[in-house]
Every structure is written in C-alpha cells, then in structure tokens.
Amino acid sequence: MSRGWQRQLKRWPGWVLLVFVVVGFLAVGATRDSGPRTPDERIESIEKRLACPVCQGESVYESRNPASNQIRQAVRQGVLEGELTDAQIIEGITFTYEGEELLVPTADGIEALAWALPATALVIGVAGLSVAFRRWQLSAQRLGAATEDDYALVADALAHLPEQDIAAATGDDDGRG
C-alpha cells in the first residue's frame, strides 16, 4: 500500500467523527428548550405549531376561522391552568382533531429521524463528493502534461481511422475535416 493511501485511510475516520459530532450538535440545538417562558409566549408558541383544521397551510395563530378560535381557547385554558406541559396540550388537541393539526413535527422518535437523516445524508454526500473530487484532482496531477510522444500516438491513431470516424471525433459533420 502506498503512503498516500495510508494517509487517506488515517484521515477519513476523523471526518466521519466530525460529521457525527456536527449532526449531534444540530440535533441537540434543535431540540433544546430555552427555559421557562411566560404564559403568553407559551400560548403563542403552541398556536404556531398547530395547523388550522379548516384552512390550508395556516397555523392556528394566523387563522381567524371559528375552529382555530376554539383551538386557541383550548390552548389558553391548558396553559393558564398550569397543570399540562406544551407537549401534553398539543397531544390533547391532536387527539381531539384526529392528529391532523401538527405543523411542526415533534423532536423525538421517528419524526426526529425523518428530519435528521436527510440532513445527515446531505453532509455525508457533500463530504464524499469533496473526497472524490480531491482524489480525481490528485490523479490528474500525477499524470502530468501531455508529451510529444503522447501527441504522436494520437496522431498515429487518427491516421489509421476511417474518415467518418475522424469527422465524428472532430465534430465535423460533412467529413471534410
């Protein structure tokens, strides 16, 4: 095994580790709670996460539909009673409306994977492409510039081709070179 390959084999585990660390930090940062909030902030946050059951693509917070008004009242009541967490309030509303009200997926379980896996795949894909491009660049550099012998070899090969093939190779359609 050449030294170049040995160096590359020693380097790639570090990149893989870096990808996992970055994805881990993104997952923790996306799911981290910012601490205690005022009741009004909690109500607004919950209303923005719930979809209007009647309107297309509108949150309960934005919609002025009577169904959204009912949901807003339920959210306000749940928050002001102080016995339920945000997740429990949302769970109760999605249960009441048969689970069609979530605009933002929850940050745990399968739904978290549904958001994290494509981002991870993108990072790994970009890293893989950068490694491939770097290898191709190094391979091209090792080949060096074309020599006179290379040009003579190509000229000899072209001299032995029929005229139709030469026209196709040079892009001349009428075959006159």
Question: Where do the structural domains in the chain lie, given as residue ranges?
Answer: 11-111, 145-177
Q: Of 48, 37, 99, 105, whose CA–CA distance to 75 is shortest? A: 48
For residue 68 the two structure tokens come to 């959204």
pTM above 0.75, yes or no: no
Instruction: Domain 11-111: state its class.
Output: mainly alpha
How open is the CA angle 166-171-172, to the nearest 5 degrees?
Answer: 75
Mind listing the pLDDT tens digit for each residue in 87-121? 888 888 888 877 666 666 566 667 677 778 888 89
Mind listing the pLDDT tens digit for each residue in 41-93? 888 888 888 888 888 878 888 888 888 888 899 889 988 888 888 888 888 88
| CA distances, 93 to each of 100, 110, 129, 140, 141 (Å) | 10, 20, 45, 61, 63
Quote the CA–CA distance of 153 and 159 in Å, as a whole number.
Answer: 10
